[in-house]
Homo-oligomer: A and B are copies of this chain.
Amino acid sequence: MRAARLYWRSRRGSSIVHHSTVTPPAAGQPARALNELTATEIVAAVAAGRTTCEAVARACLERVAEREPQVQAWAHLDPDHVLAQARALDRGARRGPLHGVPFGVKDIIDTADLPTEYGTAIHKGHRPAKDAACVALSRKAGAVLMGKTVTTEFANVTPGKTRNPLDPARTPGGSSSGSGAAVADWMVPLALGTQTTGSTTRPASFCGVFGYRPTWGDLRMAGVMEASGSLDTLGILARSIEDIALYRDVLLGVEPAPLPEDLPAPRIGFCRPYFWERLEPATQRLLEGAARRLAHAGARVREVPLPGGFEGLEAAHRWISGFEMARNLAWELENHREAISEKFRSGRLKDGLACTYEHYREMRDFVEHCRRRLAPVMSGHDVLLAPAAQGEAPVGWDPVPHPWVYMVWTAMHVPSVTLPAYTGPNGLPIGAQLIASRCEDSKLLAAARWAYRVLRD
């Protein structure tokens, strides 16, 4: 068993012909379709005059036109509006560090110029008055809003229409389903998601792209639907670590700084969490192989057990998120109860409504206690290596399988990156997750770049 190359590179068919390429190509490189460039590459190509914002937008729109009937990643997309934004950028001066980069936005995040429907017919056609903070910061940086990506209903358990671009019989993973699929299928280089349980990590692993969940509290949530405020974060789906680092700085509202190049090999804690035996054997073997490869390449790799009792975080996460979601959706429950899917209503919402404040508080205290216990575990390591999924994307439409893979890390408020490092027994991607201490996102991204360079070879 060995690490596969970036999943989409190994699967990419030569049958897809794109009209738009970077012209002239960088010396010694084959011409690449513009929609296949990373954000960082688009910015460089536009700045160097090798392409235009409009040409990039057209290439992405062509890819959408070709593939959307199968993938169905988009809730709202207006090609004319996309081209108008791109042309306006071409007419003006450089606007910022994402000048000309098309991006997708999960449809629970407000946009002033496109509907925001939260994956439910209840809010059909709803048009917010302003952009969410993360959208406004993206546009300020010069990014081009491509469209709204499909979310599961209220970013919860009931799927949207999106299929896994690598196998239409399988889920793309949720709740940021469209964001994962659109980035994986070369429709946009960047997309915004969110995460309350595994809503960025899961589609990243199932679709074979990078997924980043920031330290809880770092990136502003104004204009993003609150599912469970004490757990929610934004998420970034992308096709390179450099793109994630760049986009993170944009969303932080700070001057972008490139990741340092001269760092020593990271100290990695290899974590087989208490749910290790629930993983598919292939996933176990791939992660064990990754640990060996990373050690062989110079990382200091040590086994790190989670503290005892952490399995209690599954129940704690369920109660806390259920309690908060049931209150946040009070308006819908009062006014459109029957239009909420039975699965969501009779599951998490029903449990949440029945949860007392005392129990909710007890669960929050327990989570806080676990956060304190995790800190010393992590202190001897730059990052932890852990599973990002139980296995390949399952056949069928359950968008949120195996929540237990994600709950621990999300509840801990720590940042994580999913690396599209492996191919499973059915030829589909399986991610590996790297995790750092709170606020150590820069260190995490630098270690992730180092690790990915080792694993992709």
Where the two chains meet, the residues of A that have a C-beta atom closer than 8 Å to any C-beta of B are 112, 123, 126, 129-133, 135-137, 139-140, 217-218, 220-223, 225-226, 229-230, 252-254, 323-324, 326-334, 353, 356-357, 361, 364-365, 439
Contact = CB atoms under 8 A, between A and B. Distances in A.
Contacts of A331: 112, 130-133, 135-136, 223
A328 B140 contact: no
A226 B229 CA distance: 12
A221 B226 contact: yes
Given A112-B331, A137-B330, A353-B253, A439 B131 contact: no
Given A217-B229, A225-B222, A226-B222, A330 B253 contact: yes
A333 B129 CA distance: 15
Contacts of A334: 136, 139-140
Contact of A229 (B220, B253, B439): B220
A326 B222 contact: no
Contact of A332 (B130, B252, B330, B357): B130
B133 A328 contact: yes
Contacts of A223: 331
A132 B217 CA distance: 21
A127 B326 CA distance: 24
A254 B324 contact: no
Nearest to A352: B253
A132 B331 CA distance: 7
A301 to B, nearest CB: 28
B126 A129 contact: yes
A252 B361 CA distance: 11
B330 A140 contact: yes
A98 to B, nearest CB: 14
B230 A226 contact: no
A361 B324 contact: no
Contacts of A136: 330-331, 333-334
B327 A253 contact: yes
Given A123-B130, A253-B327, A365-B439, 16 more contacts: A112-B331, A123-B129, A131-B330, A132-B331, A133-B330, A135-B331, A137-B330, A139-B334, A140-B334, A217-B364, A220-B324, A221-B229, A222-B327, A222-B328, A253-B323, A253-B326
Given A129-B126, A140-B334, A328 B252 contact: no
Contacts of A365: 439
The 6 A-B residue pairs with the shortest CB-CB distance, nearest first, are A136-B330, A136-B331, A222-B328, A222-B226, A253-B327, A220-B327
A437 to B, nearest CB: 12
A334 B129 CA distance: 14
Contact of A327 (B137, B229, B323, B361): B137
Contacts of A329: 133, 222
Nearest to A110: B331
Nearest to A125: B129
Contacts of A332: 130
Nearest to A441: B357
A134 to B, nearest CB: 8
A129 B123 CA distance: 8
Given A136-B334, A230-B217, A361 B439 contact: yes
A334 B326 CA distance: 34
B123 A356 contact: no
Contacts of A324: 220
